[in-house]
Amino acid sequence: MPVKSITTTPYDGQKPGTSGLRKRVKIFQQENYTQNFIQATLDAMPSPGAKESTLVVGGDGRYFSTEAIQIIIRVAAGNGVSKLIIGKNGILSTPAASNLIRKRKANGGILLTASHNPGGPDNDFGIKYNVSNGGPAPESVTNLIYEYTKKCNQYHICDMPEIDLSKIGVQTIDGFTIEIVDSVNDYAQLLKEIFNFEQIKQFFKNNPNFKVLFDGLHGVTGPYAERIFVEELGLSRSSIQNCTPLPDFGGSHPDPNLTYAHSLVERVERENVNFGAASDGDGDRNMIYGKNAFVTPSDSVAVIAAHAEVIPYFQKSGVKGLARSMPTSAAIDLVAKKKGLEIFEVPTGWKFFGNLMDAGRLSICGEESFGTGSDHIREKDGVWAIVAWLNIIAAVNEKRPGVGIKEILLEHYQIYGRNFFSRYDYEEVESECANKMVEHLRHLIGVGKDDFIGKTFGQFTVKEADDFEYCDPIDGSVSKNQGVRIIFTDGSRIVIRLSGTGSQGATIRLYVEKYSQNVSEYESDTQEALKPLIDVALQISKLQEFTGRAKPTVIT
Ligand code: VG1
Ligand code: CO
């Protein structure tokens, strides 16, 4: 096929954030905007580069996905890529894409998603590059992509007819191969190898009154949920809802938390559902929620780690080490300590777990932002976490019938104590105000540090404070300024950082954590338990003064 080189002009701001480039659809629709970014991505591909490579392509099916895929096909062909493996109709959940990259030994993948951000012509789109281990590109690669976008004066394409993405099969045009694959098969197969499906099925049979409800929030997980929960695990069709992926997610936020997953929360409460769960737009997040029992994600990963021995995958491979992102509560650290496992604290974003997994030092990890996963792939995995919980409940019930989410949590607190945790998000704050607040905090922990350490606010005395810096133990790369941490003498802490996934203005994230070994507090309401600490966080950060915001947009 003849290659055409098209002259273009670089766009500002094509800098991948925590998880790829995320912008309004209208921005991606600008002339050559998407073409430029794909060209820069292919240019930045780690050695041996784009030429003759194989790439996996797919996403959460949001608005503009199919147009973007046609662009990717043409630009990939123009750059000598030899093969694209594309999910049917462009659909691949983020974990399914990670799995395919690994299974098919592809050189990388291009994932089209803005995760939990709303979709549709006036909302968000995103493009993320994953490397050959199946995980999000490390900063060395994303920085290089950004550098290439800044000097992108030309991109290369092959003019070819639109490719039909709905027909499974292989087609080769002049040595360039496009394979359209079933979006669900390989992923379902993977989960069947990891978990004890027979045990879970048996548990459902023995407990016909144990109600399960999965909510796909009209994101990409619908077809995965149908296959796994209904066809494989034998649940009724009424056990899943909102499982038709829609390009605009039905007009809401496909974000599994108590605010945005209200369609799930309401039915769980009304119908006394024992086990409720939801996933986000691209399928890498999860929320576990039973009647009167919300599992905070920091606890979720700790519980999975504590019970890992009932999961066949970990029976075979052993648990090599545990990890969490810095703002995530230290609940999992306590599990690591008890089990004598290595524990790692990395910056926010799944890309930081990959090296540890590749080096065989990390098996189970999580983020407070409803992200949980393991080294079975290199992305967090919503459906994996949900089935992990079901596997644990099924196994525990063999010995102690009647145990549900709440009992598992309380038992966990009895053994390890409870880490109360909450996050306050202030969305679409004016960037200037947010930056000023961060400057103020950096001053407190920098030049003003001598005054700040030892100072008392309410019942809390500052013990340590810093801006989190991470040195990757495997490749030695250093990531600075990953969030301001203020740790108090009683072990409580607050963390403040700016989001790297927003598409408009700045989002301030305020994280608070308090540890308790007081049994009478284990059933307390999180917000009540954390109120004094939140007040102190607002006082120290002067958040309201800088931003004019009296209340957060979302509390998780
Ligand atoms: C947020 C979360 C982070 C997560 C990232 C991607 O990033 O805090 O924990 O890894 O989203 O998740 P930030 O920079 O906005 O805080 V997803 O489901 O968007 O791929
Ligand atoms: Co996501």
Interval between CA 381 and ligand 2 midpoint (Å): 9
The pLDDT tens digits for 49-87 are 999 999 999 999 999 999 999 999 999 999 999 999 999
Comparing 7 with 451, which gets the higher pLDDT? 7
Yes or no: say if 156 and 40 are a contact pair by the CB < 8 Å rule: no
pLDDT per residue as tens digits for the range 138-189: 989 999 999 999 999 999 999 999 999 999 999 999 999 999 999 999 999 9
- pLDDT (average), residues 350-374: 96
pLDDT, average across residues 208-216:
96
Asked if 21 contacts 41 with a C-beta cutoff of 8 angstroms, the reply is no
Q: What does the pLDDT read at residue 91? A: 96
Q: Say what the ipTM of the complex is.
A: 0.97
CATH superfamily membership of 3-183:
Alpha-D-Glucose-1,6-Bisphosphate, subunit A, domain 3 (3.40.120.10)
Residues of the chain with CATH 3.40.120.10: 3-183, 187-416
Rounded CA-CA distance 72/83 in Å is 12
**Ligand nearest to C-alpha 22:** 1
Instruction: State the ligand closest to the CA atom of 16.
Output: 1
DSSP 400: S
Instruction: Give, for ligand 1, the residue of 260, 369, 468 to mutate: max count of ligand atoms closer than 8 Å to Cβ.
Output: 369
pLDDT at 117 over 90: yes
Residue of 220, 348, 377, 428 to mutate, ligand 1, most atoms within 8 A of C-beta: 348
* 29 in Cβ contact with 121 (< 8 Å): no
Under the banding of pLDDT at 50, 70 and 90, the label for residue 550 is confident
Where do we find the tokens 């092959």? 158
Q: How many C-beta atoms lie closer than 10 Å to residue 499's C-beta? A: 17
**Residue 28: predicted pLDDT:** 97
The span from the CA of 144 to the CA of 424, in Å, is 32
pLDDT beyond 80 at 504: no
Strands (E), 273-393: 275-279, 286-290, 293-295, 321-325, 342-346, 364-367, 371-374
Q: How confident is the model at residue 446 (pLDDT cuts 50, 70, 90)?
A: confident
As a whole number of angstroms, the distance between CA 131 and CA 320 comes to 23
Q: What is the pLDDT of residue 169?
A: 97
Range with top average pLDDT, 32-36, 287-291, 539-543: 32-36
State the distance from the centre of ligand 1 to the C-alpha of 502, rounded, in angstroms: 9
18 falls in which pLDDT band (50, 70, 90)?
Answer: confident
The percentage of residues in the chain with a pLDDT greater than 70, rounded to a whole number, is 100
Report, as an integer, the average pLDDT of 515-542. 92
For the question of residue 93 being annotated catalytic, the response is no
Res. 19 pLDDT band, cuts 50 70 90: confident
Please tell me the distance between residue 383's alpha carbon and the centre of ligand 2 in angstroms: 12
Question: What is the position in ligand 1's atom list of the atom closest to the CA of 20?
Answer: 20
Residues whose CB is less than 8 angstroms from the CB of residue 29 and which lie 6 or more positions away in sequence, other chains included: 64
Mean pLDDT of 510-531: 92
List, in order, residues 6 or more apart from 265 with CB less than 8 Å away: 258, 276, 289
Task: For residue 269, give the H/E element and its range.
Answer: helix 262-270
- Distance of alpha carbon 465 from alpha carbon 73, whole angstroms: 48
For residue 101, pLDDT over 90 is answered with yes
Spatial separation of the C-alpha atoms in residues 169 and 161, rounded to whole Å: 17
DSSP state of 352: G
CA of 111 to the centre of ligand 1 (A): 15
> What protein residues have CB closer than 5 angstroms to ion ligand 2?
115, 280, 282, 284-285
Give the model's pLDDT for residue 386: 98
CA distance to 13, 325, 425, 554, per residue, from 369 (Å): 25, 10, 11, 12
- C-alpha 125/C-alpha 141 separation (Å) is 21
Query: For 152-161, 301-310, 391-400, 442-451, which range has the lowest pLDDT when averaged over its residues?
Result: 442-451
Residue 500 reports pLDDT greater than 90 = no
Residue nearest to atom 8 of ligand 1 (CA): 369
With beta carbons less than 8 A apart as the criterion, state whether 4 and 39 touch.
no
Q: List the beta strands (DSSP E) in 116-162.
A: 124-130, 154-158
CATH assignment, 187-416: 3.40.120.10
Query: How much is the mean pLDDT over the chain?
Result: 95
Helices 405-416 + 331-339 axis angle, to 10: 70
Candidates 511, 467, 514; CA nearest to 488 is 514
Residue 491: pLDDT band (50, 70, 90) is confident
What is the per-residue pLDDT across 237-282, written as a single tens digit (0 to 9) for each? Answer: 999 999 999 999 999 899 999 889 999 999 999 999 999 999 999 9
Q: Show the ligand 1 pocket: residues with CB < 6 angstroms.
A: 18-19, 115-116, 280, 284-285, 325, 348-350, 367, 369, 371, 499-501, 509
Architecture per CATH, 418-555: 2-Layer Sandwich (3.30)
Catalytic residue from among 65, 115, 492, 503: 115
Is residue 501 scored above 80 in pLDDT?
no
CATH 3.30.310.50 residue ranges for the chain: 418-555
Cβ atoms within 10 Å of 478's Cβ, excluding its own: 9
Closest CA to ligand 1's atom 16: 499
Alpha carbons 427 and 384: distance in angstroms, whole number = 29
